[in-house]
Every structure is written in C-alpha cells, then in structure tokens.
Amino acid sequence: MADSYRILLGENELPQQWYNVQPDLPRPLPPYLHPATGKPVTPDDMLPIFPMELILQEVSQERWIEIPDEVLDIYRLWRPSPLHRARRLEKLLKTPARIYFKNESVSPAGSHKPNTAVPQAYYNKMAGVTRLATETGAGQWGSALSFACNAFGLGCTVYMVKVSYQQKPYRRSMMQIWGSEVYPSPTDRTDSGRAILAQDPESPGSLGIAISEAVEDAVKHEDTKYALGSVLNHVLVHQSIVGLETKKQLQLAGEKADVLVGCVGGGSNFAGFCFPFVPDKLKGDNIRMVAVEPTSCPTFTKGAYMYDFGDTAGLTPLMLMYTLGHSFVPPGIHAGGLRYHGDAPLLSLLVHEKVIEARAYPQNPVFEAAIAFARTEGIVPAPETAHAIRAGVDEALKCKETGEEKCIVIAFSGHGFLDLAAYDNFIGGNLIDFEYPDSKIQEAIAAIPKFPG
Amino acid sequence: MADSYRILLGENELPQQWYNVQPDLPRPLPPYLHPATGKPVTPDDMLPIFPMELILQEVSQERWIEIPDEVLDIYRLWRPSPLHRARRLEKLLKTPARIYFKNESVSPAGSHKPNTAVPQAYYNKMAGVTRLATETGAGQWGSALSFACNAFGLGCTVYMVKVSYQQKPYRRSMMQIWGSEVYPSPTDRTDSGRAILAQDPESPGSLGIAISEAVEDAVKHEDTKYALGSVLNHVLVHQSIVGLETKKQLQLAGEKADVLVGCVGGGSNFAGFCFPFVPDKLKGDNIRMVAVEPTSCPTFTKGAYMYDFGDTAGLTPLMLMYTLGHSFVPPGIHAGGLRYHGDAPLLSLLVHEKVIEARAYPQNPVFEAAIAFARTEGIVPAPETAHAIRAGVDEALKCKETGEEKCIVIAFSGHGFLDLAAYDNFIGGNLIDFEYPDSKIQEAIAAIPKFPG
C-alpha cells in the first residue's frame, strides 16, 4: 500500500458537539457595548435581530454545545471533510516538513461558510422566524446562507453590494438557484438604501450600506431576523467543527500538529480551525497558530486593540478587537473575504494574549503559492485561502533550512472556481501589491471615538 | 447512528485495474477504417498521433488492464470518489426508490475527464513524448489534460475554439494555472488554421477546426502527440474506474442497482460508469442502463448506426457508430459537452444490441431537475450532468406510481460552478427547448459517404 493522501472520517465520526473557547480563555471576554449608552449589551438588546438560542451561544460559558440532529443531517451532505497530506507540494519544496490541509472547499457553497449558515438557519426556524435577511459582498456568505435557508424552508433576502451584483453575477446565480431573493444594494426597499440613493442614484454600494439594509429589514419585519457570517462568538462556535475534525484526523494519521495556519477576514474560518487546539497550547503544548492577513488590510499586524464598531456606519455594538478603524476602506484586492476592518473579538483576545501570532502578505507572493499548490495538489485555492497556503509554504521552507520535520496544517477554506479572473490578473502580471501607508492607518484609528473609556 | 449519506472508500480500496468491455461484447467491435483506403486502420497508422501503449489498449482483448502506480498516485489526490445516497431528493419526490449518485465533481478539474487525462499523459511521458496537443470547446477536456500534463512535467498546447476563448475565459484560466499554452483557434500556427483565417479572418472557430489544428501540431512535431478526451476505446477503459468504484460502494451499502443513468456526449463518462455492469447484464441480471442525450443532438435516439468520420472535416478514421452525420451542427445548447455528432463505437454497439437503452430530453426539464437537485443535495450540477439527473428523477417518479422500491444510480459527471450563466438563463426564462427537425437530421445522415460499403 502506497503512502496515503487523504485522511477520511466516516459519518459516524462526525463530531456531535461544537467547541466553545470562552471557558478556556486566559481572561474573560469583555462585553459588547451599546452604541448609544456605552453600557454592556443585554440579550434583550439583540433579540430584534437574532433568535434567543444564538444569543445564548454568544455569551455561553459551556465548553461543549450539542449540535442538533437536524443540523448534523445537513452537515452530512459533505462532512466530515477530508484532511489531505500535501505530498506533492512537499516534494516540490524539498522540505522535511509534513504538510496537511483541511479541505472545506467540498461544501455545497465551496467554502467553510455553510458550517455556520446551517445552524443559524436552523435556530431561526425553531424560533418561528420565516425569513432571514443578510448582506453579501462577492457572495460567499450570501450563497452559503441561501443554501442553508433553503434546506430548512426559510425565505432568504440577500442585499448584495451593487458593484459585485453587476460584475460578479455567478454567486448571485447560486443564491437564486437555492431560492433566495437577491437585491443590488443600495435598494429602495429600506430607509437606509433610499437615503443613499437620494444622495447618489448611481451609488455602487458598499458592505456597510448592505449591512444597514439587511439589519433594517430584520428589525422592521417581525417574522424576519438577521444573520452574520463571521466575527461573532456563535459563528466561531459553529466553525469549531473544522478544528475538531482536524484533531481526529491528525490522530488517525499518527500526527501532532506543530504549526496551524489559516487566513483571517473576520476570523471565523481560522478560529474554527484552531480554537480546539487552544487548550493544549495553554497547557504547555508548543503548537504555533498563525493568522494570515493581506498587507492591504493589516488588522492584526498594524491595527489597534480597542473598542470599535463592527460596521462602517457605526450602528452596531462596540466590540473590543483589533481594528483599523471602522472608517478604514481597504483597496479592492482579490481576496474580498479578507477586507474587513476588524477581527473577531475572541480571536483578537487570543492574539493580544500572544496565544496566536499574526502575519501579513502582499498579493503577488500569495498567488505564487496558490499556483504552486494548484500544480501539485490539483485544487485551485480561493484567493483568501491562498494567504494561508503562502504561510504554510514559508513555514515548510523554514524547515528546509533548519532540517526540522515539523507537521504543518493549513486551513483550506475554499476553492477558487469563482475567482479565476483574479488568477488571470496574476498570470497577466496585472496584480498590484498594495501596502497601506501607516499614516492612513493611524488616521483611521485616531478617528475611532474613545467613547467607552 | 442516523442514516448514511455518503459511501466512502479508503485509498486502499482504489481499484488497481481498469475494466475493458471488449472481450465481453456480444459480438466483436468492427475495426476503424482508414479514410483514404477504406482498409482497417493498423497500429502503425496511429503512431504519429498516439503512443503505442494507448494504441494497444485501443485494440486490447484483455478484460483487466493494470493501472500503473504513477497513475494511481495522481488518482489518489481525489479518488476513490464518493457515492452519495440522495435521501433529500428522494423525500422531495416522495418516491419509494433509493437514489444514489456517483460524484465525479470532486476531481481537480471538476469532472470525470481527469480519469483518462492522467493515464494519457503518463503513457505519453513513458514513450518519450515531451508535449501534448489537444482541442477544447468550453474547456472541460482542455483543463483536465492541462492538469494531467503538469502532473507529469509534459508541455500542453490547447487549441480552444475562439468564441469560447473569448466568451468563457474561466476554463482558459484554469489551463494556464496548470501551465498550458492556450490559443484561440483558428490560429496562424498551423496550415489548417491559416487556411481558415485566409478565408475568414474573423472566424469564431469550431471544434472541428481545433481538432485539425491539434492533430496537425502533433503530426508535424516529433516530440508531440495528440490526446482525445472521449469516444475512443482506451478512453472508455480509463473511465471504467468510475463504475468499478461504484460497484464496490453499492456492495458496501448492501445494494444491487436496478437502473444506471448517465449523460452521453462522446460517451466516455457513461461508458466508464456502466460497462463494469455489462457482464452481469449479459449473464441475465435485469439491470437497466439508460444513456441520456439532449433532444437538440439526438445521436442515439434519431441517428443512424453506420460508419462515419469522428470529426467535422472528415480527416479521422471512419468508425461504426451512431451518428447524426459529421456535417451535423447542433445548436448552441448549454450542455456543450453533449454536442457531438457521434457516439463512442463501443457504446454504440451495446445500444445497437439493446444491452443499453437511450433517451433524449430538452433543456428546460433538465434544468428543472438540476435545480431540484441543487436544492435538496446541495451540489449545483453541470448542465451535462443535469441530463442524467432528469432521467434519474423520472425513473424515481415512475417508482412512485408503481410502488417499486428500485435502486437508481446516477452518474454525477461534474459540477456547474463554471456554468452558472446557463442557470441564469433558465431562471430568467430565456432557455429555448430546441428540437432538431427530422428532415435536417435525415439530410446530414444522407450526406455521409457510403464509402466503406
């Protein structure tokens, strides 16, 4: 029998509980603050937009949270996902390291996003909600939520940033295939949308505007709630299924991870992947966890750790997190999923406590690594995922220098079938390595109101 | 433990031999005929374009053909592929039938095509060839061969029909990611290309022209050979890996298939899926095998069983097969992979002998079934694959009427991530159900030279 390439788990090995890192944190997570009062947000404050079960998960101190059977039933359409040994990439790099990648591209939407979309749709359904409203940029989250709502017979309204709606019609098609209503935002369906259109009828939209429209839609309709695809604690809880499976698969392979790498936009993919390893690390295991971001949106590597709004408009609760300032607008890099000004509060706390480290890369070396990966392992990575691959490759090259036989595990968050235009740009030599000037970043950070003290 | 959704095989259960149906045919396969002489083609005639090992497989009477370790090593990047139980589709249809689908969309190129691209690249490499030339329409085959050539360090030149090159840039990007040279055909690199361009500098190209260019490239360069993605016997042999795995997986699930359905363009996907079941059928098993084609290119259902050319230009050997006439040009339906005027000779023989049955569908009911599938099973099917799904759904609906608890297995040949524009057309109500007038078909068939008698 030749060397194995994929470590597969049977359906009966699918984890039955999610992992919640909150009870294992080195210090408690500071509360969200109400944007009007500066007081900690209460569960009641959140009820107009989220169902109680998700609000309870948001603040839960339970280490293990039961996954409902109905959610497992949908997960099983593609989970457990495979862990691959990247033997051909290892050979190319001539590294003594062993490289693995956890493949979330096998989901219906092609990324890790359905891991939380499915339970969010389920808990809303159980709470009597009949429709979810959300925003989406390029469409990864919108398509995942569309798939999940359809699975539970919920309506789904997606406010898609207008310029993406027009220029990237493919994920819109996926949302429609799964039965969602998709509107180019700003729309005339909401006050926030109409206000923008009154000022500028040709507005290309932004994620900030689309969030406002989706939240307003939820608040104004009693049967409708809102769903968010990253950043919040309950989202990170759901994504822990990725890391829990990875742990089992590494055990099966007789491995112990030395380095975990993943890309960070809002942080849910990376947190879901590495949080189940945090207790080991806190108990003295010398595992390293590396969060990778683009230099054009360097939240961890150049941002400040302070209270800031989750959205551009400044309407959401304030969260203690790494942030570039909610007014920070990163350039239009191809890894659209990594263009968020903040990072998940739980992940931010662990970076601040130096449990997790962070690193930033410009686009070109990222795409170089993506092509090397596609040529050896076959799968074309999403531009976001390619950031993780770059870091994994660099860790493996370091091992080549030192001779260390490390076990490196990459979070392969999604495929690039709908991002091929970005590869075109790279192959054509038209990709710009944008690095944000520090002064601009300092300016945006200085603009954050010092309001909660 | 809940009901299972996916039947997975471990890497050690990957078949080690391909199955060749030739020794099991009810009567021998008539030879290919030389287009100039009308005499049977000899291995030497084929040597300028194929390596000897593939020519020997083309005429082999061995039932089992060893899969080289180097090929298994690449197969293992994604194989064995999963067999899914489509429980949610069954529920939607309220059928007593059990529906399975064999999922070839998990390959690097997203379809079954790499199953033959990989061994073709390997045998060429072993024969000292340094570059392969091929044609591609929308790009499924071109991307699969690019992946395979890259895996063995071979160069790859793809002549891509110009109109697809311009309108569907995404598969071109995939080919370039895997290191291929891709040219919009007609090119000025070949005599055939230059001749077309001299007549019409704005020619949009055609698959026929692209084939001529690729073959000419191979014939004129000693280090270069040609590769074909369907129709030929050796291609069908390689694709048997699909059916062999399916048999094992059905056994594991305690099932015996009653009906196998698959779509047919050239026939390699369907043949690979069902040929391993042919000996059972010939021994009296009452399994049914249903080949599904579009009504706009109804080769089996309205074509003639006779010798015809494999290409539009009439340069290839003559093959005894079902054909609509090599001059037949089907309309531009969305299932581009099903627009071939002929069908694989091996598959044609078995249809002619009534071992395999055939059925045709128009586009709209096909896309209806595809959407029902995407909404229940999550995966968005390629338009080609959707033809098989339509037939599988209809078989299941028949069981609902009769109360029969049949086991229906669908060949899920590829995903639709790069075909979302077709879904857009369907959802927008802009898809035309084209049925070719019988008189046109009779005309094209009458134009086939009666040359070999």
**pLDDT tens-digit map of A6-20:** 999 999 999 999 999
Contacts of A150 in chain B (CB under 8 A): 375
Burial grade of B155 (CB within 10 A; 0-12, 13-18, 19 or more): middle
CA B112 from centre of chain? 8
Chain A / chain B CB contacts < 8 angstroms: 117
**CB-CB: which of A2, A177, A178 is closest to B73?**
A2
Rounded to the nearest angstrom, the minimum Cα separation between B308 and chain A is 37
Q: Is the pLDDT of residue B434 over 80?
A: no
The dihedral formed by the CA atoms of A246, A252, A254 and A260, expressed in degrees to the nearest 10: 0
Nearest to B375 among A178, A380, A415 (CB): A178
Residues 6+ apart with CB under 8 A from B368: B390
Amino acid occupying residue B353: E
Give the per-residue pLDDT at A449.
77
A84: nearest CA partner in chain B: B77
B160 pLDDT more than 80: yes
Residues of A in contact with B147 (CB under 8 A): 378
Residue B380 reports pLDDT greater than 60: yes
Higher pLDDT, B310 or A449: B310
Kindly indicate the confidence band of residue A150, based on its pLDDT and cuts at 50, 70 and 90.
Answer: very high
Residues 335-374 of A with CB under 8 A from B: 371, 374
Question: Is pLDDT above 80 for A1?
Answer: no
Are A266 and A229 in contact, with CB atoms under 8 Å apart? yes
Average pLDDT over residues A126-138: 94
| CB contact (8 A) between residue A2 and residue B76 | yes
pLDDT in tens, A80-115: 999 999 999 999 999 999 999 999 999 999 999 999
DSSP letter for each residue of B214-242: HHHHHHH-TTEEE---SSSHHHHHHHHHH
Share of chain B above pLDDT 90, in %: 82
User: Nearest CA to CA, how far is B417 from chain A (Å)?
Assistant: 7
> With bands split at pLDDT 50, 70 and 90, how would you rate the model's confidence at A36?
confident
Is B20-66+111-226 in the same CATH topology as B6-13+78-110+242-446?
Answer: yes
| Separation CA B325–CA A250 (nearest Å) | 56
Mean pLDDT of A299-324: 92
B421 CB within 8 Å of a chain A CB: yes
Q: Which helix (H) or strand (E) holds B343?
A: none
pLDDT above 70 (res A451): no
Look at A447 and A400; give whichever has higher pLDDT. A400
Instruction: Map out the domains of chain A as residue ranges.
Output: 6-13+78-110+242-446, 20-66+111-226
| Residue B3, pLDDT score | 67
Q: What percent of chain A has pLDDT over 70?
A: 99
* Chain A residues close to B88, C-beta within 8 Å: 77
Which of these CATH numbers, 3.30.70.260, 1.10.10.10, 1.10.3720.10, 3.40.50.1100, describes A6-13+78-110+242-446?
3.40.50.1100
Range scoring the smallest mean pLDDT among A445-449, B219-223, B265-269: A445-449
| Cross-chain Cβ contact B147/A378 below 8 Å | yes
Residue A251 binned pLDDT confidence (cut-offs 50, 70, 90):
very high
Candidate from A174, A374, A377 with C-beta closest to B420: A174
Among all chains, which residue has been given the structure tokens 């990459």? Answer: A410
Write out pLDDT tens, residues A196-218.
Answer: 999 999 988 888 889 889 999 99
**pLDDT at residue A428 greater than cutoff 80:** yes
**Over 60: is that where the pLDDT of B40 sits?**
yes
Angle subtended at Cα B169 by Cα B165 and Cα B170, rounded to the nearest 5 degrees:
135
What mean pLDDT do residues B345-353 have?
98
What six digits make up the tokens of A52?
């109680």
Give the pLDDT of residue B440.
84
Convert the pLDDT of each residue in B180-222 to its tens digit: 999 999 999 999 999 999 999 998 888 888 988 999 999 999 9
Residues in chain B: 453
Q: Residue A359: what residue type?
A: R
Cβ–Cβ contact B397 with A under 8 A: no
Judged by phi (left if over 0) then psi (alpha if -120 to 50, else beta), residue A94 lies in left
Query: What residue spans of A276-430 are helical by DSSP H?
Result: 278-282, 299-302, 345-352, 363-377, 383-402, 420-427
Angstrom distance (rounded) from CA B384 to CA B370: 10
Which residues in A lie closer than 8 A to residue B179 (C-beta atoms)? Answer: 375
Q: What is the pTM of this model?
A: 0.95
The reply to whether residue A421 touches residue B173, judged by beta carbons under 8 angstroms, is: yes
Helix (H) or strand (E) holding A409: strand A407-412
Q: Which of B1, B69, B106 sits opposite A12 (nearest CB)?
A: B1
Instruction: List the single residue in A106, A169, A423 with the smallest CB-CB distance to B106.
Output: A106
When comparing pLDDT for A104 and A167, which is higher?
A: A104
Q: Do B108 and A371 touch (CB under 8 A)?
A: no
- Cα A317 to Cα A36, A312, A324, distances in angstroms: 9, 12, 17
pLDDT at A332 over 80: no
User: Which pLDDT does position B439 carry in this prediction?
Assistant: 86
CA A285, A289, A295 angle in degrees (round to 5)?
160
Question: Edge to edge, what strands does the sheet with B357-361 contain?
Answer: B6-7, B83-85, B98-103, B407-412, B259-263, B288-294, B357-361
Torsion of CA B243, B247, B249, B252, to 10 degrees: 180
Residue type, B249: Q
Confidence of residue B453 (pLDDT cuts 50, 70, 90): very low
CATH class of the domain defined by A20-66+111-226: alpha beta
A375 close contact with B: CB closer than 8 A: yes
Nearest CB partner across the interface for B5, out of A77, A176, A415: A77
| Å between A306 CA and nearest CA of chain B | 40
Q: Do residues A19 and A238 make contact, with C-beta atoms less than 8 angstroms apart? A: no
Whether B451 contacts chain A with CB within 8 A: no
* Residues above pLDDT 90, as percent of chain A: 82
Determine the pLDDT at residue A222: 94
Q: Is the pLDDT confidence value at B87 over 80? A: yes
- For range B42-64, the mean pLDDT: 95
The mean predicted confidence, pLDDT, of chain B is: 94
Give the residue-averaged pLDDT of B151-168.
92
Q: What is the spatial distance between Cα A333 and Cα A338, in angstroms, rounded to a whole number?
A: 9
Across the beta sheet with A131-136, the strand order is A181-185, A155-161, A131-136, A224-226
Is any Cβ of chain A less than 8 angstroms from the Cβ of B220? no
Band (pLDDT 50/70/90 cuts) for residue A380 is very high
Which pLDDT band, with edges at 50, 70 and 90, does B69 fall under?
very high
pLDDT mean over A140-153? 97
Give yes or no for residue B266 having a pLDDT over 90: yes
What residues of chain B lie within 8 A of the CB of A10, using their CB? 8
What pLDDT is recorded for position B333?
A: 76
What residue type is assigned to position A330 of the chain? P
Residues of B in contact with A2 (CB under 8 A): 11, 69, 72-73, 76
The DSSP code for A111 is: B
Any idea which of A280-294, A363-377, B166-180, B287-301 has the lowest mean pLDDT? B166-180
Burial B373-393 (b: 16+ CB within 10 A, else e): bbbbbbbbbbbbbbbbbbbbb
User: B178: which 2 tokens?
Assistant: 């895997």
Question: In this complex, do B420 and A179 lie within 8 Å of one another by their Cβ atoms?
Answer: no
Q: Which residues contact A428 (CB under 8 A, 6 or more apart)?
A: none
Considering chain A, what is the average pLDDT of its residues?
94
Are the beta carbons of A55 and A47 closer than 8 angstroms?
A: yes
Angle, helices B345-352/B233-252, rounded to nearest 10 degrees: 60
Stretch A285-289: mean pLDDT, rounded?
97
Strands A83-85 and A98-103: antiparallel
Both tokens assigned to A24:
């294992």
